[in-house]
Structures are given as structure tokens and as C-alpha cells.
Chain A
Amino acid sequence: MTVRGNIVGIDSPEALERALRTAYYLADDGLATAAYLGLALGKPLLLEGAPGVGKTEAAKAIAAVLGRRLIRLQCYEGIDASAALYEWNYPRQMLAIRQAGEETIDIYGETFLIERPMLASLRAPDSTVLLIDEIDRADQEFEAFLLEFLSDFQISIPERGTVRAAERPVVVLTSNRTRDLHEALRRRCVYHWIDYPTAEREARIVMMRASSVAESTARAVVAAVGRLRREPLSKAPGIAEAVDWAEAATLLHARGARWPDAFKRSIGVALKEEEDLTFISGRLDALIAEAAA
């Protein structure tokens, strides 16, 4: 297993953790270790966790730390090679055939090729980070198709031959775990399960992301969000919702609303399902009072 030196200046998980912090991302030891190992061993990083724990944000922060462009491939059921790899520009090809007349032309030349995220990342591995987002949404055929790409970092275009990356690109995959991923895919990756952060860490995240928020507000919001996550809700609030809630409550408070009231009135940015709001409405006052205490 070759260890590569493309992560200049980052020689340990701690160094990566510090660098991520400058990109406004607070990673715990586990994530920093997994991300560091992924980068150093040249393996894709697979991040799993509940929606809203910061998987996509982690990929963005890694791209920022490395100073690279993030290419995002959002997966969906039915995604296929032409959406992920490349597509031919058929109208242009057709036109070229017509215009060529008696001459011979190469209709599979570079000018007719439309790059999609995976091809773009193979062609510029040193300046991009490829994010394959929500791989669990794609169907299993697509997952199988990813296997070749993730182990050899090459793809074959029948009309042109094989495209191989000059060096291993940085790839981050995320999954909400709505279904089990294939073992073969997990095997090829460095893996990390992102949990909700501890209250302490989450309060720091809220303050870092929303600088106008006071520490006491951040702590109260994080405590309330933590309690909400223990309820059987159809969509538990993620980190982004906690940040939004803290900002919204601060804003209302600044415009004259009294404190617990401002907190309560802005719950709509944390819970976005009508059924969840109804479910929690009876206990909301107690929950907020307890969190703000």
C-alpha cells in the first residue's frame, strides 16, 4: 500500500483537524483520523450517518482545506453512466457529419465529449475533490458500476478507450443509510459513521457558523435540539437546523421579542414537518424552559 504525499503540510489527523477548523468545520477524532487515512492512503472516504449530521459539509471542508474544486455528483434512483461519466453531444455530431460531406471526420473527438462529474475528476485529479452524494439513493446497478472506478480510478469510453487518472483523485461518498450498501463498496473505502456531535461540540459549531449568536443561546438551542432528537419525529433536526434556530431566535430577540418567546416562535426553522410540530406542541413550553435553564 503506497502512502502518498499530496497532502502537503498535513501529516497527522490532528493537523487535518486544525486545518478543517480554519474551513469552519469542527471534526472529531474519528472523522479527522478517517479523513486523514483516506487522503494518505489514496482511498475514497465513505461517510455514513443520519441526515443533517454534516456529511456533505465535511466533503466541502476537505475540498477547501486542500484548495481544490468540489465536483458534486448527486445520486438519485435511476442515475446512470451518462449522468455520472460522460455523454456525447449528439446534435453537434449530427451536424458535423452533415457538414463533412465527403471528408472523414472523427465524431468521437474531444469537441463532442461532454464531461460529467466522474470523468471531470479523473481528468483533473490534482485540482478537484469528487463528492458522490447520497449513494444510497442510487440503485444497486450504479453501485456496482462505481466499484471499478473506486478501485482502479479508470473508466472506459468504448469509442475512445480507457481514461485513467494520473494520480488517485480524492473521492468522498456519503450515505444516509436508507439501505445497506454493498460490502464490496465499503471495502474499497475508508469508513466513518458520523454521529450527532456532543452538546459541547455542537454549541461550538453553532457559534462558529453563526457569529451573532451568544454562547448562552447556542447552548440552549443545542440542548433543545438534543431533546427533540430523542423524540420519535419523522425528521429530527440536524446541525444546520440548530444553527438556523439559534440565528432565528437571536434575530427575533434583537427585534424586541422576549427571550423564551423568541426561542419558541422560531421553532419552525428546526422542525419542518407539520406532524412533528403538532406532536411536540403540547410539550414545547416545558422543553424550551428546560433547555434554556
Chain B
Amino acid sequence: MSDELQLPHAARVFVSFVALLRVNGFAVAPEQTTAFLAAIGLLGPRSMEAIRQAGLATLAPPPERRATYDRLFDLHFLGSEAIDHAGAEDEEVVRLQEEGRGEDETLLADEVNESGLAAARAEALVERRFAPSTTGSALRKLSREAPARLPRRRGHRRMRARRGPWADLRRTLRESVRNDGEVLRLGRLKRRTRPRKVLLLIDVSGSMKGRTEDNMKLAHALSHAISHVEVFTFGTRLTRVTRALRLKRREQALSAAAHLVSDWDGGTRIGDALQAFLSVPRFGSYARGAAVVIVSDGLERGDPSALQDAVAKLSRRAWRLSWLTPLASGPGFQPQTEALIAIRRFVDDLVDGGSTAAIVSHVLSLGQRKAA
């Protein structure tokens, strides 16, 4: 009550805008609210556009949610009559949610739109729910062994070592001060190693239906076993599910991912999906120097030349590119489909992806393999 009295009347409309943003899933810190008010004070009574700019600069909505920000701004500041009549900001929020612009849906739209790939061909938009099931021993093995067995690369930082190419002058000096300037032992430094990035691209199209659930569980286990894992699903669209899979509890994570992906069990346009992946600079950079693992049967409905082109690009960026297909589960596998034949020369491994155990065993063997 007393807080409200202290807040100048003119500032209320701005503070309630921040509240509206927060309810809609924008993270705004109190200091940003203060900066917003200060900014409006600075810019003076100019135009609505100045207030919008002040908000963009100080409340810093992420660029992919800019459209939502603008919508909320228009609603709050330009639709002011309706708000005055309603009297409280809670009303707007209810209305927004009723209109289906709640937090979940907005987040979903952002993640999908960012890929820039809208499905053009007939696609089946299906939401899938994962049934809880027991963790396989292969997944336990993955969680246990991944940190030690996945590939590592040399980083730029240096660490103390018994032997190493550089002298640790800082430590040597400290010790020599203790000994009146005598250097008794020269400390050494070597480069630290860091886990290499792993990029998982999982085919969730109809032809992979039987494997999708297990593959998602595997992606979740891997995301928690090591850092630097990025996971995308593709079918008729490309969806980044990394953030959803970061949730610790598997059922929660998989159901969050299930909400995000809208093309379960639909058609396949692998080439277009991979092209879309590469053309978003933010996504494309995930592949650079990474161990890229594509889990897909390679049954391409689209043009195989688009697929070939995308895989060639991906292969040039990746540290190692593995293609895991259920078709390779039998002995003496030879690629038959046009798409798999086309990409064969660009992938480093074309191996069995027909069971969780096979995928786990390949992923765990990556550390022993060299960059192609």
C-alpha cells in the first residue's frame, strides 16, 4: 500500500508495463525498471516511439521476442482506453492468455521461427506425449562414461603441470620471493583440454517413428552427462530443443521438448532442414569444430542435391560428422537410397543407429577417433 503511494502517478503506467512484460515471460530486473524510468525522464515527453525505444534499450527484450514486446507495448500504451476502463493490469494478462498469447506459446513460436524454415509441403503437425519408461542400461552407461570418453580438444587456458612447454613465471616468482630471490624450481604450464562440442541432429519424421522416443531419451542423457551439447530435431521443420532438454527430470524435459516440436512423425525434408540450420549464423556456428551426430534413416522426400550440398557444408565445419541410420543395423550394410549414396563421401562414419545401445557405443567411441 505505502509503496504505491510513493510511486509518482506518472510513473505507474511504465512500472505496470514492466509487470506486464514479466507476466509474459520477460526477465526484467528491478534495476532495469529504474533505468527505464530514468531513460524516459531523460528523453522527455517526446513521442510514443521514444518510449518504445527507451524500453527496448533498457528492458532489453531478446531479439527473437521483439514481436511479442511490440505487441505488448501497443496493447499497453496505445490501447490505453481499454486499460483505463479495466483499471488493473491483471485484466490484460488474462485477456492475452485467453487469446492464446501466453508464455508457453510465445516461447514455442520463437524457437521455431528462429530457424527460418516454414514447412511448405504437406506436413503433419502432431504433438507427441512420451510415456514414462525405465532407463535402459545403455543410457546409464552413456551418463557414466561420457565425461571421460567423449572427445576433448586443447583449450587456450593454461594450467599448472609437472611438465609443460611454458614456464609458470607467476608461481616461480612467488616462490622465489620466499627464498630471497633464488629460483629453486621452475614451475611449468600446459594447455588445458576442454570437452569438444557435440551437436545432435535427430530425425523425428514418420519413418523414424519407432526410434524417436529412445533417441530423445538419449539426447537428454547426453545433455546432462557433458556440457556443450546442442540438440535439434528435424522432419518438415527444424527445432532447437537444447533448452527444453536442460530440465533435469527426464519426463519434464521430454514433455517440454514434445510441446516444442510440432512435426513429429510427419514427412522428411532433411536437406532443407540442414540448409536452414546452416543459414542461421547462430546455429551454424554450433557445428564449427563439433562432433556432429545425425540420427536419421536418410529417407529424403526432397531433392537429394539440397541434402548433398548441406551435408558437404556441415562436414567442412564439423570436427567429425557421423550419420547413424537404423538401415545399417544388419551386417554388410551398403547404402541403397539415392540420398545416402549422395552423402556417403562427405560423412566420416555411416554406421548403425538402430538401437540405443548402438548409438551409445558409437558416441562413446568418438573420443578415440581422429578428426577426418
For window 201-239 of A, CB contacts with B under 8 Å fall at 232-234, 236
A41 on interface, CB distance cutoff 8 Å: yes
The closest CB in chain B to the CB of A187 belongs to B29
State whether A1 and B34 are in contact (beta carbons under 8 Å apart), knowing that A33-B43, A77-B155, A78-B157 are contacts in the complex: yes
B279 pairs with A233, CB closer than 8 A = yes
Contacts of A36 in B (CB 8 A): 42
- The majority secondary structure among interface residues of chain B is helix
Give the distance in Å from the alpha carbon of A78 to the alpha carbon of B159 in the complex: 12
CB-contact partner of A29 in B38, B39, B42, B53, under 8 A:
B53
A110 on interface, CB distance cutoff 8 Å: no
B176 pairs with A88, CB closer than 8 A = no
B84 on interface, CB distance cutoff 8 Å: no
Give the distance in Å from the alpha carbon of A41 to the alpha carbon of B43 in the complex: 11
CB-contact partner of A189 in B60, B177, B275, B279, under 8 A:
B60
Q: Taking the nearest CB of chain B, how far is it from the CB of A131, in angstroms? A: 18
Give the distance in Å from the alpha carbon of A176 to the alpha carbon of B176 in the complex: 44
For window 158-213 of B, CB contacts with A under 8 Å fall at 169-170, 172-173, 176-177, 180-181, 183
A94 pairs with B173, CB closer than 8 A = yes
Contacts of A188 in B (CB 8 A): 31
Q: Taking the nearest CB of chain B, how far is it from the CB of A291, in angstroms? A: 20
B50 on interface, CB distance cutoff 8 Å: yes
State whether A187 and B156 are in contact (beta carbons under 8 Å apart), knowing that A37-B58, A107-B177, A275-B313 are contacts in the complex: no
A277 on interface, CB distance cutoff 8 Å: no
- The majority secondary structure among interface residues of chain A is mixed
For window 1-56 of B, CB contacts with A under 8 Å fall at 27, 29, 31-32, 34-35, 37-39, 41-43, 49-50, 53-54, 56
B31 pairs with A192, CB closer than 8 A = no
Give the distance in Å from the alpha carbon of A189 to the alpha carbon of B49 in the complex: 21
CB-contact partner of A48 in B50, B63, B275, B284, under 8 A:
B63
B63 pairs with A190, CB closer than 8 A = no
B275 pairs with A29, CB closer than 8 A = no
Contacts of B53 in A (CB 8 A): 13, 29-30, 33-34
The closest CB in chain A to the CB of B312 belongs to A275
A80 pairs with B157, CB closer than 8 A = yes
Q: Taking the nearest CB of chain B, how far is it from the CB of A229, in angstroms? A: 10
Q: Taking the nearest CB of chain A, how far is it from the CB of B302, in angstroms? A: 14
The closest CB in chain B to the CB of A30 belongs to B53
B309 on interface, CB distance cutoff 8 Å: yes
Contacts of A279 in B (CB 8 A): 309
Contacts of A177 in B (CB 8 A): 63, 281-282
A37 pairs with B54, CB closer than 8 A = yes
CB-contact partner of A50 in B39, B60, B281, under 8 A:
B281
Q: Taking the nearest CB of chain A, how far is it from the CB of B87, in angstroms? A: 30
The closest CB in chain A to the CB of B57 belongs to A34
| Binary flags per residue of A170-192, CB closer than 8 Å to B gives 1, else 0 | 00000011110001001111111
CB-contact partner of A187 in B43, B60, B312, under 8 A:
B60
A232 pairs with B276, CB closer than 8 A = yes
Contacts of B63 in A (CB 8 A): 48, 177, 193
A8 on interface, CB distance cutoff 8 Å: no
The closest CB in chain B to the CB of A43 belongs to B35
CB-contact partner of A30 in B43, B56, B276, under 8 A:
B56
Give the distance in Å from the alpha carbon of A216 to the alpha carbon of B285 in the complex: 36
State whether A178 and B285 are in contact (beta carbons under 8 Å apart), knowing that A34-B56, A97-B176 are contacts in the complex: yes
Give the distance in Å from the alpha carbon of A91 to the alpha carbon of B167 in the complex: 12
A234 pairs with B177, CB closer than 8 A = no
Give the distance in Å from the alpha carbon of A12 to the alpha carbon of B53 in the complex: 13
B150 on interface, CB distance cutoff 8 Å: no
B155 pairs with A37, CB closer than 8 A = no
A51 on interface, CB distance cutoff 8 Å: yes
Contacts of A46 in B (CB 8 A): 60
The closest CB in chain A to the CB of B316 belongs to A275
Contacts of B278 in A (CB 8 A): 232, 234
CB-contact partner of A41 in B38, B170, B180, under 8 A:
B38
Contacts of B173 in A (CB 8 A): 88, 90, 93-94, 107
| Binary flags per residue of B280-300, CB closer than 8 Å to A gives 1, else 0 | 011011000000000000000
Q: 23 A-B residue contacts at CB 8 Å? A: A1-B34, A29-B53, A30-B56, A33-B43, A33-B50, A33-B54, A37-B39, A37-B43, A40-B42, A41-B35, A88-B173, A94-B169, A94-B176, A94-B183, A97-B177, A177-B282, A183-B27, A187-B60, A191-B58, A232-B275, A232-B276, A236-B281, A275-B313
- Name the 5 nearest CB pairs between A and B, nearest first: A78-B156, A191-B60, A232-B279, A97-B181, A90-B169
